Chain A
Amino acid sequence: MAELSVNAHMNPQLGANGKLQHLLSTEGLPLEVITHILDTAQSFLEVSDRDVKKVPLLRGKSVFNLFFENSTRTRTTFEIAAKRLSADVINLDVSRSSTAKGETLLDTIDNLCAMHADMFVVRHATSGAPFLIAEHLQRIGRDDIRVVNAGDGRHAHPTQGLLDMYTIRHYKKDFSQLTVAIVGDILHSRVARSDLHALKTLGCGEIRAIAPKTLLPGYLENLGVKVFHDMNEGLKDCDVVIMLRLQNERMNGALLPSVGEYFKRYGLTPEKLALAKPDAIVMHPGPMNRGVEIDSSVADGPQAVILNQVTFGIAVRMAVMGILAGN
């Protein structure tokens, strides 16, 4: 019944003018917007190499880091990016304060709005939480405030997705000629989802997912992904290998029998990497579990670009915040 369909519930990250109003997911992000973010990041990269590592783009603006779920690393990279844009950064450890006292998510947001926030960087354990915040801001007439999703549940981690795209573009140029494999716990991974959507928009030649069935969501093929359960097949002739972190708690349930068996089947070793193209790059969103999903000799080897990802990540986050503040 098409006429009753509720699909008016669209991605609220693009304003009526088609400009980026929030960054909530890489899904539905137009190619021009992604390209603009990556180009802008490129220009910011040299800022980090200067003696004075600052540009005044966000001077006088307040960026609130709202981490409902702990993550020192991601929070720090956003903080550095915001400070290099000259913003005032306020870190709120909401995982321990207001929500613990029973305040609802939207009550917290209302309070922070009253403190004249200009941008919220949100990390939340529940998929979709930043969407709720963006819609709420619209509802209460505060669409001047920008929301950046810094990771929501299993759903999305768009700045990680974009910095991954930046990394791939830096090393590989033409996406249409590439085969990219994502290996590991795709079911629970917001990074994987953000990578998939961005790779699709950028016209990636072939996207592969490699994992046992317990770590794969259903219907991945419908999202344009080729699924492999055997790493030796899946890695064959790949240009890019993205390894995902395997959370320790996955071992407690019925998802996997043991770290040993997982590493044997899906851990990236030099032998398995040799099946990819000789110039393949190895990526990882960090933090790594050496000996679980990746062997140290690969993690520290010549094909790994994992630390470069971190450097690019600052520039990409600067670009996202700079563009959002300017729109």
Chain B
Amino acid sequence: MPVSMKTIRWLPLAAMLAATLAFAQEAPDALVKRVSQDVLAIAKSDPKVQAGDQARIHEVIDGKLAPHFDFTRMTALAMGRNWRNATPAQQKELTEQFKQLLVRTYSGALSRYRDEKIEYKPLAVAPSATDVTVKTLVVKAGGGSPVPIDYSLTKTPEGWKAYDVIVGGVSLVTNYRDEFNEQIKSGGVDGLIATLKTKNGG
């Protein structure tokens, strides 16, 4: 009895440790595959998502997808040289607002998802690699051009995290760089934060 008590007390901690280790060691291509299949499986089976329930779609993206993105790095990249001129408080606010914008945009894309299939290109990762690009191809059932979607990932203590999505050669981060730059030119960093807030609130 005392033995089993001890074991039981230790079990949750051991399970948590094992999960963290497995997560940290999951290869970036395996991660992209697992997470995207997970989200698409929900998109296909969840009646609320299928009915276009925005709150539920938002919940799925925020819970399943967002933890695997490095939003701070994404924001810094989109800000370019302006990132260093922003105060830590501004950086935090920018990251939060940019995250909200991306989650909302992704939710919109997911509600338009129909019967596309994703092909995953094999990836050879050297054990020392800290930055990789995972290539996928989205194929529509009825023919038409398949769309290549690439994910740039970086290694962090909490596992691999994506910091850019490149759709058909169009990098999301690069696309926002122009926009951020123009907003900062006309209204400063606070102007950009205000614009992001308006966009997210509208």
Q: Do A and B interact with each other, yes or no?
A: no
Binding site for A on B (CB under 8 A): none
On A, residues with C-beta under 8 Å from B are none
